[in-house]
Copies of this chain bind each other. A is one copy, B any other.
Amino acid sequence: MTKQSIGIGLLGLGIIAGQVAKVLLEKADLLAEQVGCPVILRKIKVLPVDLEKEPARRLPPELLTTDEDQFFADPAIDIVVEAIGGENPALAYLQRAISGGKHLVTSNKEVIAKHGAALKTLAQQHGVGLRYEGSVGGGIPLIAPFKYDLVANDIKGIFAIINGTTNYILTRMGREGIDFPSALKSAQELGYAEANPENDIEGIDASYKLAILSSLAFQTDVRPEDIYREGISRISRRDFQYAQELGYAIKLLAIAKQIDDAIEVRVHPALIPEDSFLAKVDGVYNAILVEGDLVGKVLFFGEGAGALATSSAVIADVISSARDIVLGISDRATVKLDSGKKIIPMAEIETQYYLRINVADQPGVLARISKVFGDHLISISSVIQKKVDEETQTAEVVIMTHPAREKAMQQTLQKLGQLDVVKEISNFIRVETD
């Protein structure tokens, strides 16, 4: 079967879809050369409201349709590019496209994180490819490295800054000593954070991306709800001051680790040594550190979002899908999710901890606090006591621990809260030194 051309159908006409359409039209020669035949944008399925917007006006009107039945029935479409975002109706569209024998390209992290395993099975049944490089890290190659380039490795761990919004906020807080609400407001004004910032600042977006990466890395169906998750809103500038004093930066990390035959997956703020590579990743950039048994540590860094960067990944996926169609094959690498690796409950993980506690300024307090740690076999690595508030007669104590089990730490926190000398456990942040 020799294809004369490859037809593309685009779902959506938001910022990313608009950019994808632009590249498909403007770089038609490059695509044809890479694929070996013309790659032609056949149809764009839009909402009636999209027709009034700027991207639609720049495009030939015959490309646009609001009729989804017509779109999915179009025999000239070989590859469906989904760029709507969100779970619905994207999921139903993806299922419909696959069932219709179309190859699929998407940058939809939510759908892939929640329904990736089912969609992969469906795609395999229908002999079509399902590609989603743009779903994590914008244009930074991440899906392909796990599927192809690092496939000889047993992956030991992933340590990633994969949400630009929170990294921007934390960078501003760390550099300028401003508090969280001001940094968030500034991020919103600059368009880095949305009006409703929950998805970013609560780590939901990062957990989708970690679910996608860790599923690939550990051949396990890791779902967003499997991932322990904490956001950044309770980080204060005081935490930054102490962290800097102790030689640490604070980042929202997405962590996946293999321990024996099980894995831990978590998204939370963490203190990391200020001379580590991830500590130097500032602003809206993303960086993903992967450790494999053969390759050692490799780091991927770049713009983690944005229409232009994401279109780099989407178009690469379109080219790969088109090459497959020309060769008469579907995606070559079959992703298996049957490794049977268990997910370690959060209570069982082991890491180090930073605590900031507000205590009564009286003799013997530190001894009583230290005793609680000792009772739970947690060993303290450093203590800072300062900032006596004359008015309330309280002091602030900052404690860093050696590695300890989360369960013991949670019990310690509970007991500390019951001490009459402890006024408040102001914050509690994990410390990652890997």
Contact = CB atoms under 8 A, between A and B. Distances in A.
A299 B301 contact: yes
Interface string A278-313: 001000000000001011111111110010110111
A433 interface: no
A320 interface: yes
B319 A152 contact: yes
Contacts of A100: none
B295 A148 contact: no
A319 B33 CA distance: 26
Given A34-B333, A280-B277, A300-B299, A294 B319 contact: no
Contacts of A27: 152
A140 B290 CA distance: 11
Interface in A323-350: 323-324, 327, 329, 332-334, 336
A116 interface: no
A141 B150 contact: yes
Interface hub of A138, A300, A323 (most chain B Cβ within 10 A): A300
A316 B149 contact: yes
Contacts of A315: 151-152, 294
A152 B312 contact: yes
B295 A138 contact: yes
A261 to B, nearest CB: 14
A144 interface: yes
A182 interface: no
Contacts of A332: 320, 323-324, 327
A151 B23 CA distance: 12
Nearest to A296: B303
A30 interface: yes
Nearest to A138: B295
Given A27-B152, A149-B133, A152-B23, A309 B294 contact: yes
B303 A295 contact: yes
Question: Which of A30, A36, A140, A144: most chain B Cβ within 10 A?
Answer: A140
A139 interface: yes
A247 interface: no
B313 A149 contact: yes
Nearest to A294: B312
A323 B334 CA distance: 10
Interface string A23-37: 100010011011010
A327 to B, nearest CB: 5
Contacts of A33: 336
Nearest to A330: B327
A298 B302 contact: yes
B300 A300 contact: yes
Query: Lowest 6 A-B CB distances belong to which pairs?
Result: A152-B315, A139-B295, A298-B302, A141-B149, A294-B312, A295-B312
Interface of A: 23, 27, 30-31, 33-34, 36, 133, 138-141, 144-145, 148-153, 277, 280, 292, 294-303, 306, 308-309, 311-313, 315-316, 319-320, 323-324, 327, 329, 332-334, 336
Given A140-B295, A149-B316, A323-B332, 12 more contacts: A27-B152, A30-B152, A139-B294, A141-B298, A153-B312, A277-B301, A295-B302, A295-B312, A296-B308, A298-B302, A299-B302, A327-B329
